[in-house]
């Protein structure tokens, strides 16, 4: 899994590519920690995210809470969306 982070003032964009599973979820946690205090809104570009497990979803929920809801998931693939739905988090996230 690779994470490409771009910061523009208070706005950050993270492009996540590959598998976000139990083993790789800690990488996302680290990347989120690295954003700094100045970032107040976040866009997760999930165009190339092929797989997510509950461990990955935990990190996405954590980021959502940290941004106070100012987080958007874009380009979510169907298979990822299915998991978000199954876990019941899809309605609470901003998915565009």
Partner 1 sequence: MFRSVTSRIVAAFLATLVIVVALVSFATFSYVRGIEHDQTDKDGLMAARQCAILMGIIDDPNVDLSDPDQYEYYHQALRNMCIDEEMGYLYAYRVDRAAGTCTYLLVAAADEEEDKEFVRSCPYGAVSHRELTDAEVRALVGEVTQEAHEYDNAYGNTLDWVAPVDAFDDDVLAASSYPVNLQRERVSHTVLSIIVPFVLVTLLLLAVELAVLRRYVFRPVRAIADEMRRFKPDKARDIRIPEMPQNDEMRDIVDAYAGMAGDISEYLDSIEALTQERLQVSVELDVARRIQLGIVPGHFELERPCLEVAALSRPAREVGGDFYAVVRLDGDRVAVAVGDASGKGMAVALFMVMVKTLIKEGLAAGDSPATVLNEVNDHICESNPEGMFVTVFACVIDPATGTVTFANAGHTTPLVVGDDARPLKQEIGTLLGLFDDIDLVDETVTLAPGETLLVFTDGVTEAVDKNKAFLGDAAFAERLSARAPFASAQSVVDATTQIVDAHAAGHEQFDDLTALALTHTPPTPAEKSLPVAGAHEVPADITSMDAVKEAIFATSADGPLKRRTTLAVEEAFANVVSYSGAKHAWYAVEEMPSGLSVTLVDDGDPFDLTTAEAPDPEFEDLEFGGMGMRLVRDLASDVSYRYEDGLNVLTIEVFD
Instruction: List residues near partner 1 by CB under 8 A.
Output: 21-23, 50-51, 53-55, 57-59, 61-62, 65, 79, 83, 86-89, 92
Calculate the CA 87 to chain-centre distance. Answer: 15
> Is the Cβ–Cβ distance between 30 and 2 less than 8 Å?
no
- Residue keyed to tokens 């139990």: 22
Q: In 3-state terms, what secondary structure has residue 69?
A: coil
Considering the complex, state which of residue 6 and residue 85 has its C-beta at the smaller distance from partner 1: 85
CB of 66 to partner 1, least distance (A): 9
Considering the complex, state which of residue 4 and residue 79 has its C-beta at the smaller distance from partner 1: 79
Considering the complex, state which of residue 43 and residue 59 has its C-beta at the smaller distance from partner 1: 59
CB of 18 to partner 1, least distance (A): 13
> Is the Cβ–Cβ distance between 17 and 49 less than 8 Å?
yes
CB of 3 to partner 1, least distance (A): 18
Check the CA dihedral 8-11-12-13 and report its sign: negative
């Amino acid at each position: 899994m690779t994470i490409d982070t771009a910061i523009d003032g208070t706005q950050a964009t993270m492009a996540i590519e590959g598998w976000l599973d139990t083993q790789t979820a800690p990488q996302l946690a680290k990347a989120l920690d690295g954003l700094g205090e100045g970032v107040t809104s976040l866009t997760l570009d999930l165009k190339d995210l092929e797989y997510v497990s509950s461990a990955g979803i935990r990190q996405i929920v954590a980021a959502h809470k940290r941004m106070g809801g100012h987080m958007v998931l874009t380009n979510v693939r169907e298979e990822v969306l299915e998991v978000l739905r199954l876990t019941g988090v899809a309605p609470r996230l901003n998915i565009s």
